[in-house]
Amino acid sequence: MDQNWENFLTPYNQAVEELKIKLKGIRKEYSRSNMHVPIEFVTGRVKPVNSIIGKAALRNISFKDLETEMQDIAGLRIMCQFVEDIHEVVKLLRNRNDMKIIEERDYISNKKESGYRSYHVVFEYPVQLIHGEKKILVEIQVRTLAMNFWATIEHSLNYKYQGEFPDAINVRLKRAAEAAFQLDEEMSQIREEIQEAQHLFSHNKRTAINK
Ligand code: 0O2
Protein backbone atom coordinates (compact mmCIF):
# COMPACT_ATOMS: atom_id res chain seq x y z
CA MET A 1 0.00 0.00 0.00
CA ASP A 2 1.12 3.55 -0.77
CA GLN A 3 2.90 5.18 2.22
CA ASN A 4 0.42 8.11 2.29
CA TRP A 5 -2.56 5.79 2.54
CA GLU A 6 -0.83 3.72 5.17
CA ASN A 7 -0.20 6.84 7.27
CA PHE A 8 -3.71 8.15 6.69
CA LEU A 9 -5.29 4.85 7.72
CA THR A 10 -3.16 4.29 10.85
CA PRO A 11 -5.62 5.92 13.32
CA TYR A 12 -8.56 4.16 11.63
CA ASN A 13 -6.91 0.76 12.04
CA GLN A 14 -6.13 1.58 15.65
CA ALA A 15 -9.73 2.68 16.33
CA VAL A 16 -11.26 -0.45 14.80
CA GLU A 17 -9.01 -2.74 16.84
CA GLU A 18 -9.73 -0.84 20.08
CA LEU A 19 -13.47 -0.69 19.49
CA LYS A 20 -13.75 -4.37 18.60
CA ILE A 21 -12.27 -5.17 22.01
CA LYS A 22 -14.50 -2.64 23.79
CA LEU A 23 -17.71 -3.82 22.11
CA LYS A 24 -16.89 -7.47 22.63
CA GLY A 25 -16.26 -6.50 26.27
CA ILE A 26 -19.88 -5.37 26.60
CA ARG A 27 -20.99 -8.79 25.41
CA LYS A 28 -18.78 -10.54 27.96
CA GLU A 29 -20.01 -8.29 30.77
CA TYR A 30 -23.66 -9.15 30.03
CA SER A 31 -22.82 -12.80 29.77
CA ARG A 32 -21.08 -12.81 33.15
CA SER A 33 -23.96 -11.03 34.86
CA ASN A 34 -26.42 -13.69 33.73
CA MET A 35 -28.51 -11.19 31.78
CA HIS A 36 -29.86 -11.51 28.27
CA VAL A 37 -26.93 -10.63 25.97
CA PRO A 38 -28.14 -8.04 23.44
CA ILE A 39 -25.03 -8.47 21.27
CA GLU A 40 -24.70 -11.63 19.22
CA PHE A 41 -21.37 -10.77 17.56
CA VAL A 42 -19.22 -7.85 16.50
CA THR A 43 -17.19 -7.29 13.35
CA GLY A 44 -15.02 -4.40 12.27
CA ARG A 45 -13.06 -3.28 9.26
CA VAL A 46 -11.22 -0.36 7.78
CA LYS A 47 -12.65 0.50 4.37
CA PRO A 48 -10.32 -0.81 1.65
CA VAL A 49 -8.45 1.94 -0.24
CA ASN A 50 -10.16 1.11 -3.54
CA SER A 51 -13.60 1.45 -1.90
CA ILE A 52 -12.57 4.80 -0.35
CA ILE A 53 -11.42 6.04 -3.75
CA GLY A 54 -14.59 4.75 -5.46
CA LYS A 55 -16.95 6.32 -2.89
CA ALA A 56 -14.97 9.60 -2.90
CA ALA A 57 -15.24 9.82 -6.68
CA LEU A 58 -18.97 9.08 -6.57
CA ARG A 59 -19.61 11.75 -3.92
CA ASN A 60 -17.05 14.26 -5.21
CA ILE A 61 -15.03 14.17 -1.99
CA SER A 62 -11.41 15.34 -2.22
CA PHE A 63 -8.61 13.63 -0.29
CA LYS A 64 -8.30 16.56 2.15
CA ASP A 65 -12.02 16.29 3.01
CA LEU A 66 -12.06 12.52 3.53
CA GLU A 67 -11.64 12.79 7.30
CA THR A 68 -14.76 14.89 7.72
CA GLU A 69 -16.89 13.79 4.77
CA MET A 70 -16.49 10.02 4.75
CA GLN A 71 -17.91 8.77 8.01
CA ASP A 72 -17.42 5.05 7.58
CA ILE A 73 -13.70 4.64 6.88
CA ALA A 74 -13.59 2.96 10.28
CA GLY A 75 -16.67 0.76 10.53
CA LEU A 76 -18.00 -1.68 13.07
CA ARG A 77 -21.08 -3.85 13.03
CA ILE A 78 -22.98 -5.15 15.99
CA MET A 79 -25.32 -8.01 15.26
CA CYS A 80 -28.29 -8.61 17.58
CA GLN A 81 -30.93 -11.32 17.84
CA PHE A 82 -33.90 -8.99 18.25
CA VAL A 83 -34.86 -5.49 17.12
CA GLU A 84 -35.37 -4.64 20.82
CA ASP A 85 -31.70 -5.48 21.41
CA ILE A 86 -30.71 -2.87 18.84
CA HIS A 87 -32.38 -0.17 20.91
CA GLU A 88 -30.69 -1.42 24.06
CA VAL A 89 -27.29 -1.40 22.33
CA VAL A 90 -27.85 2.12 20.97
CA LYS A 91 -28.72 3.31 24.51
CA LEU A 92 -25.48 1.79 25.77
CA LEU A 93 -23.53 3.59 23.06
CA ARG A 94 -25.21 6.90 23.91
CA ASN A 95 -24.14 6.53 27.55
CA ARG A 96 -20.45 5.93 26.89
CA ASN A 97 -17.99 8.67 27.53
CA ASP A 98 -15.23 7.40 25.25
CA MET A 99 -17.15 8.29 22.09
CA LYS A 100 -19.05 11.42 21.14
CA ILE A 101 -22.08 10.66 19.00
CA ILE A 102 -22.52 13.18 16.23
CA GLU A 103 -25.24 11.54 14.15
CA GLU A 104 -27.72 8.68 14.26
CA ARG A 105 -29.45 7.33 11.19
CA ASP A 106 -32.43 5.11 11.81
CA TYR A 107 -32.85 2.95 8.73
CA ILE A 108 -35.10 0.64 10.76
CA SER A 109 -38.01 3.03 11.13
CA ASN A 110 -37.08 4.52 7.75
CA LYS A 111 -35.80 1.70 5.61
CA LYS A 112 -33.82 2.63 2.52
CA GLU A 113 -35.33 2.40 -0.95
CA SER A 114 -33.30 -0.79 -1.52
CA GLY A 115 -35.00 -2.44 1.48
CA TYR A 116 -31.88 -1.97 3.63
CA ARG A 117 -32.49 -1.81 7.39
CA SER A 118 -29.97 -1.05 10.15
CA TYR A 119 -29.34 1.57 12.82
CA HIS A 120 -26.26 3.70 12.13
CA VAL A 121 -24.42 5.63 14.79
CA VAL A 122 -21.63 7.98 13.74
CA PHE A 123 -19.30 9.25 16.43
CA GLU A 124 -16.04 10.99 17.04
CA TYR A 125 -13.41 8.77 18.63
CA PRO A 126 -10.06 9.89 20.05
CA VAL A 127 -7.06 7.76 19.11
CA GLN A 128 -3.78 8.16 20.98
CA LEU A 129 -0.88 8.29 18.52
CA ILE A 130 2.82 8.91 19.13
CA HIS A 131 2.41 12.57 18.12
CA GLY A 132 -0.67 13.10 20.28
CA GLU A 133 -4.41 12.56 20.10
CA LYS A 134 -6.32 12.41 16.85
CA LYS A 135 -10.11 12.43 16.70
CA ILE A 136 -11.58 10.43 13.85
CA LEU A 137 -15.08 9.54 12.71
CA VAL A 138 -16.33 6.00 13.18
CA GLU A 139 -19.59 4.40 12.07
CA ILE A 140 -21.26 1.58 13.96
CA GLN A 141 -24.05 -0.27 12.18
CA VAL A 142 -26.36 -2.08 14.57
CA ARG A 143 -28.63 -4.70 13.01
CA THR A 144 -30.39 -7.98 13.62
CA LEU A 145 -29.10 -11.25 12.21
CA ALA A 146 -31.91 -11.16 9.65
CA MET A 147 -31.04 -7.61 8.56
CA ASN A 148 -27.40 -8.64 8.32
CA PHE A 149 -28.22 -11.69 6.20
CA TRP A 150 -30.15 -9.55 3.74
CA ALA A 151 -27.53 -6.76 3.63
CA THR A 152 -24.66 -9.20 3.11
CA ILE A 153 -26.39 -10.92 0.20
CA GLU A 154 -27.51 -7.63 -1.35
CA HIS A 155 -24.00 -6.22 -0.97
CA SER A 156 -22.44 -9.11 -2.89
CA LEU A 157 -25.08 -8.86 -5.62
CA ASN A 158 -24.47 -5.12 -5.77
CA TYR A 159 -20.80 -5.83 -6.35
CA LYS A 160 -21.72 -8.05 -9.29
CA TYR A 161 -24.34 -5.76 -10.85
CA GLN A 162 -22.86 -2.39 -9.74
CA GLY A 163 -26.25 -1.34 -8.35
CA GLU A 164 -28.05 -1.97 -11.68
CA PHE A 165 -30.02 -5.03 -10.67
CA PRO A 166 -32.08 -6.84 -13.29
CA ASP A 167 -35.79 -6.26 -12.53
CA ALA A 168 -36.41 -9.86 -11.49
CA ILE A 169 -33.60 -9.70 -8.92
CA ASN A 170 -34.80 -6.34 -7.70
CA VAL A 171 -38.26 -7.72 -7.03
CA ARG A 172 -36.82 -10.74 -5.22
CA LEU A 173 -34.51 -8.60 -3.12
CA LYS A 174 -37.39 -6.39 -2.02
CA ARG A 175 -39.44 -9.48 -1.20
CA ALA A 176 -36.51 -10.92 0.73
CA ALA A 177 -36.17 -7.64 2.68
CA GLU A 178 -39.85 -7.87 3.59
CA ALA A 179 -39.40 -11.53 4.62
CA ALA A 180 -36.45 -10.55 6.84
CA PHE A 181 -38.62 -7.82 8.39
CA GLN A 182 -41.41 -10.36 9.04
CA LEU A 183 -38.90 -12.76 10.57
CA ASP A 184 -37.72 -10.07 12.99
CA GLU A 185 -41.35 -9.27 13.87
CA GLU A 186 -42.17 -12.94 14.51
CA MET A 187 -39.08 -13.43 16.66
CA SER A 188 -39.89 -10.31 18.67
CA GLN A 189 -43.33 -11.75 19.42
CA ILE A 190 -41.82 -14.84 21.05
CA ARG A 191 -38.74 -13.08 22.40
CA GLU A 192 -39.47 -13.78 26.06
CA GLU A 193 -39.93 -17.51 25.41
CA ILE A 194 -36.69 -17.65 23.43
CA GLN A 195 -34.75 -15.74 26.08
CA GLU A 196 -36.05 -17.99 28.83
CA ALA A 197 -34.97 -21.06 26.84
CA GLN A 198 -31.54 -19.56 26.15
CA HIS A 199 -31.13 -18.72 29.82
CA LEU A 200 -31.98 -22.31 30.82
CA PHE A 201 -29.66 -23.67 28.17
CA SER A 202 -26.65 -21.63 29.29
CA HIS A 203 -27.41 -22.32 32.96
CA ASN A 204 -27.47 -26.08 32.29
CA LYS A 205 -24.28 -25.84 30.28
CA ARG A 206 -22.50 -24.00 33.10
CA THR A 207 -23.74 -26.55 35.69
CA ALA A 208 -22.54 -29.44 33.50
CA ILE A 209 -19.09 -27.83 33.11
CA ASN A 210 -18.78 -27.26 36.87
CA LYS A 211 -19.69 -30.87 37.75
P1 0O2 B 1 -19.34 -0.83 2.48
O2 0O2 B 1 -18.75 -1.77 1.50
O3 0O2 B 1 -20.27 -1.50 3.43
O4 0O2 B 1 -18.31 0.01 3.16
P5 0O2 B 1 -26.11 7.67 1.83
O6 0O2 B 1 -25.72 9.06 1.48
O7 0O2 B 1 -27.12 7.55 2.93
O8 0O2 B 1 -26.43 6.78 0.66
P9 0O2 B 1 -23.76 7.36 3.49
O10 0O2 B 1 -23.73 8.82 3.72
O11 0O2 B 1 -22.43 6.69 3.19
O12 0O2 B 1 -24.76 6.96 2.34
O13 0O2 B 1 -24.33 6.75 4.81
P14 0O2 B 1 -25.16 5.46 5.13
O15 0O2 B 1 -26.12 5.09 4.06
O16 0O2 B 1 -25.68 5.70 6.49
O17 0O2 B 1 -24.05 4.33 5.24
C18 0O2 B 1 -23.52 3.71 4.14
C19 0O2 B 1 -23.20 2.28 4.52
O20 0O2 B 1 -24.39 1.65 4.98
C21 0O2 B 1 -22.78 1.48 3.31
O22 0O2 B 1 -21.40 1.59 3.13
C23 0O2 B 1 -23.25 0.08 3.66
O24 0O2 B 1 -22.36 -0.53 4.58
C25 0O2 B 1 -24.55 0.36 4.37
N26 0O2 B 1 -25.65 0.47 3.41
C27 0O2 B 1 -26.35 1.57 3.15
N28 0O2 B 1 -27.33 1.31 2.24
C29 0O2 B 1 -27.21 0.01 1.92
C30 0O2 B 1 -27.94 -0.86 1.03
O31 0O2 B 1 -28.88 -0.49 0.34
N32 0O2 B 1 -27.52 -2.16 0.97
C33 0O2 B 1 -26.47 -2.63 1.73
N34 0O2 B 1 -26.13 -3.92 1.61
N35 0O2 B 1 -25.77 -1.83 2.56
C36 0O2 B 1 -26.13 -0.53 2.66
P37 0O2 B 1 -20.80 1.50 1.68
O38 0O2 B 1 -19.70 2.49 1.59
O39 0O2 B 1 -21.88 1.61 0.66
O40 0O2 B 1 -20.27 0.08 1.54
pLDDT digits (tens, 9 = 90+) for 118-144: 999 999 999 999 999 999 999 999 999
pLDDT digits (tens, 9 = 90+) for 30-53: 988 888 899 999 999 999 999 999
Ligand 1 atom at minimum distance from 71 CA: 11
Please choose, from the candidates 123, 79, 75, the residue with its C-alpha nearest in 3D space to the C-alpha of residue 101: 123
Please choose, from the candidates 65, 81, 74, 82, the residue with its C-alpha nearest in 3D space to the C-alpha of residue 141: 74
Residue 87 is predicted with a pLDDT of: 97
- Identify the residue whose C-alpha is closest to ligand 1 atom 22: 72
Q: Which pTM value belongs to this model?
A: 0.92
Domain count, the chain: 1
Domain range spanning residue 154? 3-210
3 state DSSP class of 2: coil
Tell me whether residue 133 is one of the annotated catalytic residues: no
Pocket lining for ligand 1, CB < 6 angstroms: 47, 51, 55, 72, 105, 112, 114, 116, 120, 151, 154-155
Which CATH number fits the domain that encloses residue 54?
Answer: 3.30.460.10
pLDDT above 70: percentage of residues in the chain: 97
Residue 195 is predicted with a pLDDT of: 83
- Identify the residue whose C-alpha is closest to ligand 1 atom 38: 55
- pLDDT less than 50: residues of the chain: none
Q: What is the ipTM of this complex?
A: 0.91
Distance CA 117, CA 108 (A): 5
- Identify the residue whose C-alpha is closest to ligand 1 atom 35: 151
Count Cβ atoms below 10 Å from residue 13 Cβ, excluding itself: 15
CA of 198 to the centre of ligand 1 (A): 33
